[in-house]
Structure 1
């Protein structure tokens, strides 16, 4: 694979930068910081109007098939600009899932609304007490006795953007007798339905997420995604896109660029600029190496997704390396800058504080290592 950027991708990258420069105002950044909601409808609709959401899906899945290089470039620019793009990535993710497993009706209604920017989605995976073990979901969906629909009862944790989303992609248990991975089913839940409650929850990073409650929520069978008890197969599609395609790769690049800029302006106690200290340059160089590797792995995942196959192993490898590299980078930069860096810019301290979160969202490092070992290296199951 040749990852040299072609002229068309370079032109697209410049267009993305122009859109971001127009929308990422000081007022917008203040609003995102104050509310903790990593989404802006103005930016979201600007991206949708240009066809960039639909471009994330290959033509056979109902999209317009923008090149994987351009998809990777879009997320890199969003991350480097610290843009509030969670709604963008969620819209692409759920559309990708529906493109693979959704019905014609779901594609014509929900997916169409997502790709045109009329609505966004949130993800209802995690629950209290189960953490990253999403297969332990206890939220129940049972057949309604007065129709062909379902009745959902339960609670989900860390449902980011539930306060803005029209739809929740909800994982529920539909068979209590089957093995825990085989008794699950996905549903598209209308967040305006009676019985849905959203409760704000702030994380260590200051970002808003939510606890969501479902009390006898009615869901028509037409909004069941995939087969009954086939939720784990749908989950594999979701994780293939989420790990490496839908952002999260260039965070380390943004941190590296910030650290280099600060090192050129911040002086140590002895009066020299931090960038002139060999130990600081060495740490920044190691971060730069990890940054390049993470971006190459991300490009490989985007390439695989663009070929209309599920990059499960590539996505796991990419997510594992990128998030752990971000943690190493935050450690190295805080260590290199010491009190001088922390006194001059809270973004470095913020990166150090939130880095552990990155290694848990979307699957813990332990889960990813097991997946790589079992699926990629064909080793026996660890448990």
Structure 2
């Protein structure tokens, strides 16, 4: 087993890098940060035009029939450059579910627009009182003939204020066990009774708390069978749990190497000549390599017909906690200058050390907390009881 990229995949990665080097200008990067919104329509449609939006999808859906490794290096490069991709990723995730279990009408209505960047879909899973226990959702969907009336609220509906739809988990049978009485819907966000209020994270990102007050939608917006929402949701959670955040460590490594090579120590020699600096950079490089290998193991398993039930959470929990460790260690090494604000002109590396330290903390929560990931590893990987 090895995870070296073949020449064709390396060439594809280099093409992606060239596109991102042109698209991710400093001005664009700063604008994305200052708005707190990790999405830009022109950027997303630029990916569509270049064939980088959904490369594994069939050509008839706007894809390129590429393999999992090409898609993986694309994801790595997008994350390494901190490209504004979250809404595009959630759109593609939900489109994959609709492609698998959606009705013909739903597929005709959503897939074409989603693959062209004309339709966007946010996620509506977490609730203010439920935390990571997604199945404890209390947002209700009550049937009214051929319609559903939805009432409740969701937390962390990132991009819910600009998306066209939300992929919503709602309770349809309160009398059933919590995993059995849930149904998934695709809710048009121009519906009467929907409201999004901004919530800003420690890293400066805007997410939302969203409210549903007698939102009325047709049954044609239901995805999957009634009360089978946990199964449908599982398709998206598997993808999220297999996420790896190692490319952010790669970005940190790049900036600290630049800083160490160009910044003089007290004796006038480059910081890179100092033993402590080299030791800390080496530690970041090792965490970067392990994170990359853990994620690529998931891709290898998928390619060989295996499902990374435990290996995905292993990748996620290690890479996010490694990012926290590495970003804090580097900020400590750089010293007071390392906590100057992101995009402050006098800050080392444009304030990337400060921003990555703030950003890293949220990654241990996104897509399931480290505690949730460890529980999955224990149950699915080690066979331990709940």
Cα distance in 1 between the residues matched to 2:228 and 2:336: 52
Residue 279 of structure 1 corresponds to which residue in structure 2?
Answer: 276
Task: Identify if the C-alpha distance between structure 1 residues 193 and 284 changes in structure 2 by more than 3 Å, giving closer, same or farther.
Answer: same
What's the CA shift for 1:106? 2.3
1:366 counterpart = 2:366: no
Between the two proteins, the alignment pairs up a number of residues equal to 378
Q: What are the equivalent positions in structure 2 for 1:28-177 lying under 5 Å apart?
A: 28-57=28-57, 64-144=64-144, 147-177=145-175
Task: Identify if the C-alpha distance between structure 1 residues 85 and 106 changes in structure 2 by more than 3 Å, giving closer, same or farther.
Answer: same
What's the CA shift for 1:307? 6.1
Residue 216 of structure 1 corresponds to which residue in structure 2?
Answer: 214
Residue 376 of structure 1 corresponds to which residue in structure 2?
Answer: 381
Cα distance in 1 between the residues matched to 2:234 and 2:103: 18
Residue 349 of structure 1 corresponds to which residue in structure 2?
Answer: 354
Cα distance in 1 between the residues matched to 2:47 and 2:306: 25
Bigger drift between 234-243 and 367-376 goes to 234-243
Residue 203 of structure 1 corresponds to which residue in structure 2?
Answer: 201
Bigger drift between 12-21 and 200-209 goes to 12-21
Residues 158 and 206 in structure 2, CA contact (< 8 A), matched pair in contact too: yes
1:192 counterpart = 2:190: yes
What's the CA shift for 1:57? 4.2
Residue 325 of structure 1 corresponds to which residue in structure 2?
Answer: 322
1:302 to 284, 296, 299: 299
Task: Identify if the C-alpha distance between structure 1 residues 39 and 251 changes in structure 2 by more than 3 Å, giving closer, same or farther.
Answer: same
Cα distance in 2 between the residues matched to 1:304 and 1:64: 22
Cα distance in 1 between the residues matched to 2:320 and 2:32: 23
Residues 54 and 65 in structure 1, CA contact (< 8 A), matched pair in contact too: no
Query: 1:141-198: CA deviations, max 9, x gaps?
Result: 1101xx3121111111111111221111111111212222222111101111111111
Query: RMSD between aligned alpha carbons?
Result: 2.3
Task: Identify if the C-alpha distance between structure 1 residues 340 and 165 changes in structure 2 by more than 3 Å, giving closer, same or farther.
Answer: closer
What's the CA shift for 1:117? 1.4
1:263 to 257, 260, 266: 260
Bigger drift between 302-311 and 355-364 goes to 302-311
Query: 1:231-262: CA deviations, max 9, x gaps?
Result: 222222112112345x6331111111111111
TM-score (norm: length of structure 1): 0.92
Query: 1:208-251: CA deviations, max 9, x gaps?
Result: 11111111112222221222222222222112112345x63311
Cα distance in 2 between the residues matched to 1:192 and 1:177: 31
Query: 1:60-112: CA deviations, max 9, x gaps?
Result: 99965421111111111112222111122112211222233323322222222
Query: 1:312-367: CA deviations, max 9, x gaps?
Result: 32221111111111111112212222225345332212222222211011001111
Cα distance in 1 between the residues matched to 2:305 and 2:98: 13
Task: Identify if the C-alpha distance between structure 1 residues 105 and 86 changes in structure 2 by more than 3 Å, giving closer, same or farther.
Answer: same
Residues 23 and 42 in structure 1, CA contact (< 8 A), matched pair in contact too: no
Cα distance in 1 between the residues matched to 2:72 and 2:324: 22
Task: Identify if the C-alpha distance between structure 1 residues 103 and 309 changes in structure 2 by more than 3 Å, giving closer, same or farther.
Answer: farther
2:312 to 311, 315, 319: 315
Query: 1:106-142: CA deviations, max 9, x gaps?
Result: 2222222212211111010111122222112111111
Residues 124 and 154 in structure 2, CA contact (< 8 A), matched pair in contact too: yes
SS in 2 for 1:94: helix
Bigger drift between 25-34 and 183-192 goes to 25-34
